[in-house]
Structure 1
Amino acid sequence: MNTNSRLERANDNATAFWLAQARVHGWESRTRPGLTAVRCARTPDDAHRIVVTRPYAEPAVLEQELAALLDEWSTIRFTLEDPYGGLDLTRFGATRLPIMPVMVRDPGPVEGATTDLPAVSETHDGETLTVDEASDGDSFALVERTIVEGFPLPARRPWVRGEALPEPLLREPGWRAWLGRVGGTVAGTCLTYDDGQATGVYWVATLPDWRGRGIAKAVLQTALVHAHPDRPATLVATSVGEPLYRKLGFTEQARTCWWIRTSAAG
């Protein structure tokens, strides 16, 4: 598998992850070769999501297409993922975030992980840490709240059950959620989405009071072992998470450029 196919596998998984949410929420979406857009619409100013999945020959042509789509959807806010780095969306009133690595981990054993579920270990300060799959509505609501408050997702605050992650997502094929507790108290979480080719890791979150105690590592180890260990795992890393992901065997495939617009273009 060459670098390009690894990157495109990660891009395709991100697309499938957002399309699964679109199906459950009832959001409009638009897909054509090389580009997928989701019209997230809890409120009129929810940020729409756009993922570029394949290289483009002419950035100006793609930018023109994006301008037409944003106009058609009356888009106020958006987030666009461009793993090829050729777009300049400043004319849309967008800001480029710090470049982040797209990372892939080949199938294989996860060092330090257990195949038991729930997985039981200790935090760095000796407390009992349990990681299990969130497979019912109440535990999935805890996952949702932890992501909203710990990732965080400011647009979804204050947290309202089911607004960000409705319970029917649990019935979407490939969609799974993982929840870490310390002494029974929720501490961290992540989501995984398997599209049949790769398993994407999303929204790895630790609540502020539990950071620095190995929660994210334990949750991610469990997810990697149990979600679909025979497939490559993919993710986009923040600067905070990247060292952990490298320790768990993820390697950089490309550096993706994310553009965000938080208000209507002037």
Structure 2
Amino acid sequence: MGSSILPPEGEHLATGWEPELPAADSLVRQAVLAHASWAVDAAQRAGRPWHDGDSWAGGIVADRGSITNWVVAKQPVDPNAILTEVAALFPPSVPYLYVSPWPTGDLRPHGLGLAGHPPLMLRLPGTATTPPATSLEIRRVTTAAGLEDAERVLVEGYPLPELQPYSPGSLYSASFLDGPSTVFVGYDGDVPLATATAHTAAGVTVVENVAVMPAARGRGAGASVTWAATTHHPDQPAVLIASDDGQPVYERLAYLRVERWTVWVRG
């Protein structure tokens, strides 16, 4: 070759995870930053403890429930350093998920258990997909009563045994609807049976808090509320971290598996 492919000495080579890089540097970066936003927004709006720095973001939404509180790594740094900082925010009795887009090594010495390596899934805008059919009426939540319906379905339908019996305000504060999250509920008449949330940040839509009551399973309820959340911002890609049960549903909605992330839990 006629010239060197090496950069000039001292020139910084971007890794894709520098804090100053735009979110749209890559779709995976957008997904990471959007999930980090999801991790702090509800806690911040409820006036509860939260942190959002260069290496991680997290917040305390509830004192119980293993999926209620999230900590998301934002850079491929030593997770032991992150968890040392997390310990200063989270009291020992408060559970949380530790979500890492990168392999972590063994985090059991921090009191965490490995939950798995679920795939990050992505659906690009404009993808031709037939909307799922259901007998439920899918409504966007705009009132405190609707938010309580969504909470109840999440607690009882996901389910979240630690938050049962259901008490209003367990997960969502009234200010939640004033932020970047939009909640949907599927009703059979006036009975709430399914829910999903669309959270917009970093130019993508995070689909989260998908739950269906047993009475609505097999009726297209989960796919329909997921579809409502997925397409709420039609010009944005949608991303989600998929459970084993949810992956076939998401694939039918034209979601693609991008890569596996790593999730630990402190229960």
Q: In structure 2, do the counterparts of structure 1 residues 110 and 205 end up closer, same or farther at CA, with 3 Å as the change threshold?
A: farther
- CA deviation profile, 1:76-135 (whole Å, cap 9, x unmatched): 33320012012321111211012211111111155223xxxxxxx854xxxx32111111
RMSD: 2.5
Higher relative contact order (CA 8 A, sep 6+): 1
Q: In structure 2, do the counterparts of structure 1 residues 247 and 122 end up closer, same or farther at CA, with 3 Å as the change threshold?
A: closer
1:24-103, aligned counterparts within 5 Å? 24-40=45-61, 42=63, 48-56=69-77, 59=78, 62-71=79-88, 73-76=90-93, 77-103=95-121
TM-score by length of 2: 0.82
Q: In structure 2, do the counterparts of structure 1 residues 185 and 6 end up closer, same or farther at CA, with 3 Å as the change threshold?
A: same
Alpha-carbon distance in 1 for matches of 2:142, 2:247? 28
Alpha-carbon distance in 2 for matches of 1:36, 1:157? 27
Residue matched to 2:28: 7
Residue matched to 1:203: 209
Cα pair 1:81 1:256 within 8 Å, conserved: yes
Residue matched to 2:37: 16
TM-score by length of 1: 0.82
Cα pair 2:156 2:164 within 8 Å, conserved: yes
Q: In structure 2, do the counterparts of structure 1 residues 26 and 112 end up closer, same or farther at CA, with 3 Å as the change threshold?
A: same
Computing the radius of gyration over CA atoms, which structure comes out larger, 1 or 2? 2
Q: Structure 2: where are the runs of 5+ without partners?
A: 1-23
Segments ≥4 residues shifted beyond 3 Å? 39-43, 45-48, 71-74
Residue matched to 1:258: 263
Q: In structure 2, do the counterparts of structure 1 residues 90 and 180 end up closer, same or farther at CA, with 3 Å as the change threshold?
A: same
Cα pair 2:40 2:51 within 8 Å, conserved: no
- CA deviation profile, 1:14-34 (whole Å, cap 9, x unmatched): 111122112222122222213
Q: In structure 2, do the counterparts of structure 1 residues 20 and 47 end up closer, same or farther at CA, with 3 Å as the change threshold?
A: closer
